[in-house]
Amino acid sequence: MKTNKQFTRKAMLLAAPALFACLSNAAYADLPMSVKVYGFLNAQVESVEAKGGATPYERRGRLSDGNSRIGFTGSIGITDTAKGLWQIEGSLNNFEQGGTNDQGSSATIVSRNSFVGIEDSRFGRIIAGNNDSAYRSLVGSGGELGGNVGMTTHGLDLWNNTTAQMTGNASSIFGRGEARYKNSVHYLSPELFGFQAALSYGFDETRTEGNNRDRYALALKYAYGPFEIGVGYDRQNDTAVDVDKLQQGYGFKLAGQDGASTYFYKLIASYKLPTSTYLGVGYEKGSYGYQLFVPPSGSHFYPGVETGTMKQGSTMISIAQDIGDKISLMAAYAKLGDLDNAVVGEGKDYSATQYSLGASYKFNEYFKTYLYYTNIDNKSQQNVNFGQSPVFSNNSGSNDAYLAPGNSPRAAGIGVIARF
């Protein structure tokens, strides 16, 4: 038979979790805290093709994803001016085919911007984790001079997060230096007299084959009423054009190479007219390092390595006209120029153009539909691809999937995006 002491001990054990919960709630009761769940699902039904190169991608219909995601973010009060920040953002990309993309890989719950940090209204914000670089977040092309907001607002790339997207990764026609840095720290200054600055540094933890591929970016933005302008710089250490792949017909790819670096700088600006017209313009210049093996010859008894740089510029313009609160008409054009000092083929063979046009209809703040047409014209050595849901004419389903140089992708479709 249990004694009163045993009953008392058992009651205390059962009550302990509730007691600690009460103490915990009391301890945090005075600290302002916030938690938010956000994201969107974005699906497109479209017809795509890419012809002109050695291995054409024949016309076909498909359902594609427009960079869908889910995120959890919050803040924790520290002082009257400071707060702790946290965010976990995961990709819902390729939800239409079970979460696996055409290169055979799957995203994880922290595959997108995920970080922890601190923000003070007087000194700015510093975060650490996996996050868009300053070159992309402060003066990027996906939103109002930065961001990646899924067509919630007009930016230089009016078709951000759709197949008609024209910017944002190494195979795009513009914004080729924009990236998300792993193992990185980021600083964002407070806004002062319209100016705001940011910097990012990504550490190369792997040091594959002895290369130190640390990467950093700087950006500065100025806003005055409806006018905004920004400049950015991105540098990739020990990163250069893979000349072997280029000679083998894989297209223009970057790889780790000791002693050779690649950097980008860009200038973008936008203006909103009183007529509900958005105008955007951008210029970007890339400088690509390379190493070229030089075999023995009559004048060079021993083999050697030649180093140098290839440079290429791109321009982009966009215009959007809002009609009331529901309808937007949009068009954009970009050109990737000749490659200076090309080591394979001629510089003009690396140029490309792209245009995207269409319209969107907003039912409310959370639900929108849109239609589009986009066309990319790649010259014989270029393989610019769709910004989202790219197509691969070779090795589809593997990490080595690529679009054959000279293939020119085009797509027409209709999409619907639901936010939460």
* pLDDT for the residue numbered 105: 64
Q: Is residue 256 part of a domain?
A: yes
**146 lies in which domain range?**
32-419
Q: Is residue 338 part of a domain?
A: yes
Q: Is residue 27 part of a domain?
A: no
Q: Is residue 215 part of a domain?
A: yes
**Chain position carrying tokens 């970080």:** 115
Tokens linked to 47: 């017809």
Domain at 254, CATH number: 2.40.160.10
Tokens linked to 235: 């540098």
Q: How many domains does the chain have?
A: 1
Please report, in tens digits, the pLDDT of each residue of the chain (420 residues total). 444 444 344 443 444 444 334 434 444 456 788 999 999 999 999 999 999 999 999 999 999 988 899 999 999 999 999 999 999 998 887 666 665 666 656 666 678 899 999 999 999 999 999 999 999 999 988 777 766 666 788 999 999 999 999 998 889 999 999 999 999 999 999 999 999 999 999 999 888 888 899 999 999 999 999 999 999 999 999 999 988 888 888 888 888 888 889 999 999 999 999 999 999 999 999 999 998 876 776 666 666 677 889 999 999 999 999 999 999 999 999 999 999 999 989 999 999 999 999 999 999 999 999 999 999 999 999 999 998 889 999 888 777 788 999 999 999 999 999 999
Q: Is residue 18 part of a domain?
A: no
Residue 120: is it exposed, middle or buried by C-beta count within 10 angstroms (0-12/13-18/19+)?
Answer: middle
Q: Is residue 323 part of a domain?
A: yes
**270-287 as b/e: b if 16+ CB within 10 A:** bebeeeeebbbbbebebe
**Chain position carrying tokens 């245009």:** 355
* pLDDT for the residue numbered 149: 64
Q: Is residue 5 part of a domain?
A: no
* pLDDT for the residue numbered 46: 97
Residue 308: is it exposed, middle or buried by C-beta count within 10 angstroms (0-12/13-18/19+)?
Answer: middle
CA angle (35 as vertex; 82, 223 as ends), nearest 5 = 55
Q: Is residue 137 part of a domain?
A: yes
